[in-house]
Amino acid sequence: MFSPTALRPRYAKWLIATGLFLVLGGCVDKPNTLERVKEDGVLRVVTRNSPATYFQDRNGETGFEYELVKRFADDLGVELKIETADNLDDLFNQVGKPNGPVLAAAGLVSSEQRKQQVRFSHSYLEVTPQIIYRNGQSRPTDAGDLVGKKIMVLKGSTHAEQLAELKKKSPGIQYEESDQVEVVDLLRMVDEGQIDLTLVDSNEVAMNQVYFTNIRVAFDLGDASNQSWAVAAGEDNSLLNEINTYLDKVKKNGTLQRLKDRYYGHVDVLGYMGAYTFAQHLQQRLPKYEQHFKTYAKKEKVDWRLLAAIGYQESLWQAAVTSKTGVRGLMMLTQNTAQAMGVSNRLDPKQSIMGGAKYLAYMKEQLDESIQEPDRTWFALAAYNVGSGHLDDARKLTAKAGMNPDKWLDVKKILPRLSQKQWYSKTRYGYARGGEPVHFVANIRRYYDILTWVTQPQLEGNQVAEGNLHVPGVDKTKPSQETPQL
């Protein structure tokens, strides 16, 4: 047996070694936020599901904020994982939570109240808060004109803070904050006369004004503000410094300006050109591509005139066009769709028409068997435009509304709801410009009607014009101003 005195030196050495280990262990620094992001290989970002930030369309994930933060994740060499918040309060609460998003990229404007919750990056976009009213109503010219008006803004927004400050000076100003809507809902509500006024940033007005023809800018409320990203409060500057370096770089190399031009510098709608211009293009442009439409339509068992109508809606029968979203060619195919359909050169009209025919046939094949013609064709066109996922969302909402999800007449009434937060928040694929596929299908059906009429075997004399056959309403007077070509 060992005596107690013999054990004491060994015990003392053990205590010293253990203490030294604990001290040294305590000196090892925990990885900072940037190091954790790189170790995990994932950048977790929280944003809003809206046109100006992040949403899904037929091109996949898109939005100004999404594209900007995706490039940042690529620079870091990590995967981007997007989360969407139900409202602004929820968004700020999520930043910095354990295993949660480390960055908020959602068109945020700094304020003293928000600085208590998060820290803001360098700015990347200057915006101006604007009072929006409905055309035909009395135009407000200053803050005093807001008294007695029905006003709604986003809950937790800097716009709500602005109105709260105004209310201190003019107690008669009344407004409602809502977390059940997004900016696009507010603009729609003004457009439809549900509310008198709203307050939104200039970039969102520029992006959405074309969809809401009745909205007008009354006046700018205050000075311009800067949008920034936000990270969790604290003393860890590792990620914030990296963000600032990145934002400074994209400003300098032109990437940021290109994104601004892409999302806010153009109108992303191809308007209906008018029957007169369409008739001109029938003679001048269609003959160059008519045989290709017939060849590939026959191969894919679709009506060539329907395929031609899609081509006109997409590009006005122009082969060498590229939209701001990156879709190209006569049939305006995305890169992914072109590859899937075996198209190597989207600007080759023959390949483009082949790809469009195959894609339309594919969209038809993917539809439920319960959808019968002619509705099946209209559903396929809607999926061609907005994607099958969003179409499925609309069909489910249609069924919940007690209508028939297999009838285009019913589903087209519900599709616009995909741009309203109270509805898209309940769907799988989230926000979509639901009104676009409705207009897309309507325009194509109109072009198709005219093509069907002008290509059918002609009767003798004026029997077509004077008989009882359906004749599309063609306006024979020349429009005073034609829509510019793509």
What is the set of active-site residues?
A: 314
* Contact (CB, 8 A) for 97 and 60: no
> What is the spatial distance between Cα 378 and Cα 442, in angstroms, rounded to a whole number?
9
| The CA-based dihedral angle spanning residues 391, 185, 216, 272, taken in that order and rounded to the nearest 10 degrees | 10
> What is the spatial distance between Cα 195 and Cα 151, in angstroms, rounded to a whole number?
6
**CA distance between the termini of the chain:** 97
In eight-state DSSP terms, residue 83 is E
DSSP states of 148-193: T--EEEETTSHHHHHHHHHHHH-TT---EEESS--HHHHHHHHHHT
Q: Which stretches within 254-348 are classed as H helix?
A: 255-264, 275-284, 286-300, 304-315, 335-340
Query: Token pair of 102, please?
Result: 């480390």
> What is the spatial distance between Cα 447 and Cα 442, in angstroms, rounded to a whole number?
9
Strand order in the sheet with 176-178: 176-178, 151-154, 197-201, 129-134, 215-220
* Contact (CB, 8 A) for 129 and 176: no
Q: What residue has token string 């020349």?
A: 478
Amino acid residing at 441: V
> What is the spatial distance between Cα 190 and Cα 179, in angstroms, rounded to a whole number?
17
> What is the spatial distance between Cα 13 and Cα 402, in angstroms, rounded to a whole number?
80
Output the CA–CA distances (angstroms, integers) from residue 81 to 100, 177, 215, 242, 248, in the order listed: 10, 30, 35, 18, 23
Output the CA–CA distances (angstroms, integers) from residue 426 to 62, 118, 393, in the order listed: 20, 29, 9
Output the CA–CA distances (angstroms, integers) from residue 319 to 124, 296, 313, 447, in the order listed: 35, 16, 13, 18
Amino acid residing at 458: Q
* Contact (CB, 8 A) for 136 and 192: no
Query: Token pair of 10, please?
Result: 């060994």
Helix (H, G, I), strand (E, B) or coil at 207: helix
Q: 165: Cβ–Cβ under 8 A, 6 or more apart, which residues?
A: none
